[in-house]
Amino acid sequence: MKSGKKRTTSFSPFAPICCVILLSVLATRLIPPGVFERVQVSGRAVIVPGSFHPATAKSLSFFSVFLAIPYGFIGTANLIFLILLVGGAIEVYNRTGAIAAGLHALTRKTGKTARVFLLFFIFCLLLVLGGFFGWVQAAIPFVPLVVPLVLSLGFDPLVAAAVVILGLLVGFCAGPSNLYTVGVAQQVAGLPLFSGFGLRLLIFGVFGLLSFFFILRQIKKDAGSDNVETRGGAADAAVPLSVEPEGKCASRLILAVIFLTFGLVTRGMLYLDWGPAEIAAAFTASGIVAGILRRFSTAEIAACFTEGAKNALTGAMIVGTAGGVQWVLEKGCIIDPIIYYLSGFLSGLPPLAAAVGVSVIVALVGGLIPSGSGKAVVLAPIMIPLADMIGLTRQTTILAYQFGDGLANLVWFTYGTLLIFLDYAKTPLSRWYRFVLPLLLILTAVAVLFLWIAVKINYGPA
């Protein structure tokens, strides 16, 4: 006899990544391998235009589908360890109760009516980090604190995911001084660093306002809905605001340690060339100090780190698995041929169509090369000469590159950071797509409008 219960299924973020790995292995058997010659420019390997030639690459077997996963973990090991150790430190922070005490004091002073203004402040902070500093992966340590904060203000898990993803990724897309896209591409194109700032700043403001409007739209929609889907498992991550803070002096010291850590990490990344190892070390040290201030034993601190790393393990595995796609494409020598054939479609197009074509090509390549700076180094030397022949200014070409790279990041599931953010907020990829696709269409239309303006004004310096 069949049970009356309806079986619930969940969609794993690993499934689409593994499918892309399988398709990539199959592609290595269909696409002839080839490479561009590269030269070192300011420490980066830059493609020499017109140097594409066939190459010899070892054929990848079906076993490579499974081999790609451990090699993906090896290639992204520094980021994986960062996620695990930061997860451990965040668990210590939460166990001390200091964050709950701080949130309790904040909401008591501002009241629940000010929660939208607090949400807007958090969104703007992330927008600036993504747009002016180019932080996405570098902002991962901030996210495990931001998501519980948004949930604690009474918002839906999807809203928490949207604040983080749209704040960082839309900011990254339209950033006026994004070093990893604008800075690298302008360097390759021979343009003054961060030139054309004015138009980009306008785009940054428009994209940011449109994105926050969609977040407000979702909040209004949630207010009139009792759908169970709007409360995922992420609700458990919310910091309780109804409890009275305990040990005020210790809580204040711990909060000071947390803020000092974020300040130190920010300074380290901006001025001291800190990487994942230094960031992880700073959070590990602050987690231990926070535990000592709350008079935890060494066993309790170790247990917190273990539990926190366990909670962050899914996100770390997503990054490692996504790294397998890159390993397959590089091993099969098919990234350069794909770029070579795609770039051929731009020849003979009118300027506006060519600008849109650059965005489309960059968006497609985004599934193969998740790194914004990596795409800039690979694509700019090819796109810039083509744009010169078509009559498109170099500044417009770089703007088109920005749009293609940034907007694709909102949906490309091979971009492991997107799935990490969704995992922190316990928001399914399918629900995220239903929310973001209408916004993506609007942002794409606005991007085409700005490209048309750039073409009309000969956006420069050229």
Q: Give residue 106's pLDDT.
A: 67
- Cβ–Cβ under 8 Å, residues 387 and 398: no
Q: Which two tokens stand for residue 436?
A: 């973001």
10 Å CB burial of residue 112 (0-12, 13-18, 19+) is exposed
Cα 180 to Cα 195: distance, rounded to the nearest angstrom: 15
Q: Give residue 419's pLDDT.
A: 83
Cα 313 to Cα 277: distance, rounded to the nearest angstrom: 17
Q: Which two tokens stand for residue 142?
A: 């901030």
Cα 141 to Cα 22: distance, rounded to the nearest angstrom: 31
Q: Give residue 244's pLDDT.
A: 47
Number of H helices, E strands in the chain: 19, 4
10 Å CB burial of residue 241 (0-12, 13-18, 19+) is middle
- Cβ–Cβ under 8 Å, residues 414 and 13: no
Residues 6+ apart with CB under 8 A from 172: 130, 131, 134, 135, 136, 178, 180, 181, 372, 406, 409
Nearest to 328 by CA among 15, 137, 45, 63: 63
Residues 6+ apart with CB under 8 A from 298: none
Cα 218 to Cα 125: distance, rounded to the nearest angstrom: 20
DSSP state of 244: P
**Could you tell me whether strands 44-47 and 53-54 are parallel, antiparallel, or unpaired per DSSP bridges?**
unpaired
Do you find a cis peptide bond into 461, omega within 30 degrees of 0?
Answer: yes
- Cβ–Cβ under 8 Å, residues 378 and 326: no
Spell out the domain ranges in the chain.
14-50+62-456
Degrees, nearest 5: CA angle 209-269-142: 50
Nearest to 307 by CA among 429, 425, 144: 144
Q: Which two tokens stand for residue 27?
A: 């592609």
Q: Give residue 4's pLDDT.
A: 47
Tell me phi and psi for residue 44, to 5 degrees.
-115, 145
Instruction: Let me know how long the chain is.
Output: 462
Nearest to 159 by CA among 135, 127, 126, 123: 123
Residues 6+ apart with CB under 8 A from 395: 191, 195, 196, 454, 459, 460, 461, 462
pLDDT averaged per 10 residues, the chain (length 462): 46 78 89 85 71 83 90 87 87 82 68 78 90 80 82 89 95 87 83 88 96 93 61 52 58 87 81 84 92 91 91 83 84 84 82 92 80 72 78 91 92 78 88 95 97 93 70
- Cβ–Cβ under 8 Å, residues 137 and 180: no
* DSSP output for 30-70: HSPPEE--EEEETTEEEE-TT--EE---PPP-TTHHHHHHH
The number of beta carbons lying within 10 Å of the beta carbon of residue 425 is 27
10 Å CB burial of residue 342 (0-12, 13-18, 19+) is middle
Q: Give residue 418's pLDDT.
A: 87
Whether the model pTM is above 0.85: no
Nearest to 350 by CA among 385, 398, 380, 392: 392
Cross-strand bridge partners of residue 34: 54
